[in-house]
Amino acid sequence: DSSSGLPTSREWYLPDSINPITSASITLTFTSPGPKTILVELRSFNSCTLGGDTVLRPIFIEVDPTPVCDFSFAPTSIKVGDSVTFTDLSSGARTWLWQFTSADSVSQQSPKYVFQSAGTYDVKLRITNSCGTATKSYQIEVAPAATSPAEITPRSEVRRK
């Protein structure tokens, strides 16, 4: 409760609860994700007028689900210089951190990346929200860049008589 003035009483009405809580502040733990509405009723008493005011304020909360991390990438056969599209398939994510190499990371939801060297890479996606963090990684093989076939130039043979 961060109300101004001096409320003389408070009543907190919680989702799925019949009886209000009558303390100055409360701590809640929700077991299911989704939107929640809490109502707080503030009452004040004015000793000069022997009257009072009552204010009912809604508090809207969005409860995040536990994050579940997953992603895909295409193409799956990768050569140096290919543009690879990484697609986030996670649920419950509010932030994303992709790690492609020890030096390269981005925070886009579904980025594109070009590997500059052949080798094996552990590509990791880390997602977070207010309920926690989840991570998924794939080991990706990057082959050397394709070389264009050698150009064959026909040789003409000149015969002399």
Q: Judge whether 125 and 113 are in contact, CB under 8 Å.
A: no
pTM of the model: 0.64
The Cβ of residue 131 has, within 10 Å, a number of other Cβ atoms equal to 15
Q: What are the tens digits of pLDDT across the range 130-160?
A: 889 999 999 999 999 876 554 544 555 555 5
Q: What are the tens digits of pLDDT across the range 62-117?
A: 888 899 999 999 999 999 999 999 999 999 999 999 999 888 999 999 999 999 99
Rg (CA), the chain: 31
Judge residue 99's burial from the number of C-beta atoms within 10 Å of its C-beta, 0-12 exposed, 13-18 middle, 19 or more buried: middle
